[in-house]
Amino acid sequence: MSALNEFILWLDAYLGSAIYFPWMLLGTGLFFTIYLRFPQIRFFKHAIKVVTGKFDKDTDKGDTSHFGALTTALSGTVGTGNIGGVGLALYLGGPAALFWMWATAFLGMTTKFVEVTLSHKYRDVDAEGKIAGGPMYYMEKKLNMKWLAVLFSIAVVFSSFGSGNMPQSNSIAAGMNETFGIEPMLTGGILSVFLLMVIVGGIQRIVIFTEAIVPTMALIYVVGALGVIFYNIENVIPSFGMIFSDILSGSAATGGFLGASLAFAFDRGVNRGLYSNEAGQGSAAIAHAAAKAHEPVSEGMVSILEPFIDTLIICTLTGLVILSSGAWTKKYQNDFQRTDFEIVQGVYSDKNDADVSKLFQHLNPKTAEHLESFDGRLEVFNGIARSGDYTIINARSVAEDVKFSLNDKPYTGSLAITNGSLDSESEVLVSGKSLLHSVRLTTQAFTSSYFGDYGKYIVSIGLLMFAFSTAIAWSYYGDRATTYLLGSKWVMPYRIVYVGAFFVASFADTTVIWNIALVTVVVMTIPNLIGIIMLRKDMKQTVKDYWVSFEKEYPDEYK
């Protein structure tokens, strides 16, 4: 598992973590924001009118309504990225990461407007008479770049597993285990059955489910988040202060948090922002392409609302919950996952400024100043390792009260350590106090509220609905890409494999699952960004034609 994780991180170094990608993503959004004269602001009010069906016509062609397309797309974006993803971004990049998530969302409102409009404009009808749309269709039909369309569609299939499926299953299982003590495999098995029951019904059944679940889950989560924020109201203003003060400097060490560089906060904020709202990824465009509309721009208008709801509202609430509660700097008792765990040579303390500086350099992936890994044997008696010239690090923090167990009993014996890691054959479980990340961090933060320990139930229930609906929406994206590549007869085999992966991911390593998501998101985003930039003139003319037509049909509304 460690080898797989290292390979994934190697790929990520050339993709999402490479210096070009955040600038490519934000630059595309900034270009279209200026080129189309801030449509996320100018068209926002109009978008609300469109989604309510004010301008709908009986003759509009499509498989679902504007609202149905919006809730399906939102169910695909509002998921673990809003709960676990924010927790991961703050854990890695500190408070400033939230600012870069906001920047990604604001510019992403325009990017999504563009990709959805173009996908709806060049949509098609499959062999079964169902609407098939998405970036692959404008790549082929308008750009005449079949190879790019195929590349994008393959990326969609992989991303449906890597970002839409496995992180959702893993996060749900982790949340249910953390809160209710339910074994991850049991959670994965039960939900896999329900997943199959929903997705075999296609877009119509998916829309029925998402129209019911999305508003409900959003309300529950918002109420729970406000319970934390108002309980820690005195920390809200300082939290905003940390977000803005750290933008150009990175986050200093505080508590168990060992600090984060400006570059890392920027990278993780942009990457987690993309994972959360998917603006530029081209995924939501597949759902919106199925909407009933006689003008593609009108559906593009609807999509403007997505990043606003997903990131600027829900992710902000999650970020304020974590920051105001102080949970991001505290160490909690937990079981250590192998990919979060390492042992370095030498004794270091997070109470010593010089040691903190060395640990910070070690944990910063863009520096060459790494500490030497421990190699040798660790002597353990009754669950406690003998003191020596080493430091145990877990979840980017100095671990405390570390205990070793085997079959639920304190372990006694000698453990082989190679390159700072326990040998893969060892079945010894390591636990202790360390920082938390992802879902576990958000869950812990929600207990610092008026609801007390019941706050974690809100996270678990919200996560269950958020993540499960995301997996459902992404199955549709994957089956549309499969249809494009291989034809509709391959959709059912795809769905079966999709459900199988959902089950397996429920008990897989969390860190590996999230790192896979880092890679799959980017391989889907890059070809889509290239495509929409090439169609910039087409997009501008399409918007111009829309308003000319709208003025003639609705002169009072146009004024």
| HEC assignment per residue over 489-540 | HHHHHHHHHHHHHHHHHCCCCHHHHHHHHHHHHHHHHHHHHHHHHHCHHHHH
- 295-332 residue pLDDT tens: 899 989 999 998 998 889 999 999 999 999 999 999 99
Beta bridge partners of 397: 394
* Residue from 171, 192, 242 nearest 507 by CA: 171
- 184-201 residue pLDDT tens: 999 999 999 999 988 887
23/25 Cα distance (integer angstroms)? 5
In this predicted structure, the answer to whether residue 127 has a pLDDT above a threshold of 80 is no
- Give me the count of residues in the chain: 559
pLDDT tier for residue 231 given thresholds of 50, 70 and 90: very high
Lookup result for tokens 């353990």: 380
434/395 Cα distance (integer angstroms)? 7
CATH class of 54-330+445-558: mainly alpha
Please name the residues in contact with 361: beta carbons below 8 A apart, sequence gap of 6 or more.
367, 369, 370
Residue 326 · residue 99 · CB < 8 Å: no
Lookup result for tokens 């390792």: 385
Percent of the chain with pLDDT over 90: 48
Write out the residue limits of the CATH 1.20.1740.10 domain(s) in the chain.
54-330+445-558
* Residue from 216, 51, 132 nearest 484 by CA: 132
371/81 Cα distance (integer angstroms)? 32
Lookup result for tokens 């062609």: 61
229/236 Cα distance (integer angstroms)? 7
- 359-411 residue pLDDT tens: 998 887 666 678 999 999 999 999 999 999 999 999 999 999 999 999 889 99
3-state secondary structure of 492: helix
Q: Which residues in 160-198 are b (16+ Cβ under 10 Å) and which e?
A: bbbbbbbbbbbbbbbbbbbbeeeebeebbeebbeebbeb
Q: Which pLDDT belongs to residue 425? A: 64
Average pLDDT, stretch 31-36?
Answer: 97
First and final CA of the chain: distance in angstroms?
A: 61
90/466 Cα distance (integer angstroms)? 20
Average pLDDT, stretch 254-275?
Answer: 81
* Torsional sign, CA 136, 141, 143, 148: positive
Percent of the chain with pLDDT over 70: 97
282/534 Cα distance (integer angstroms)? 15
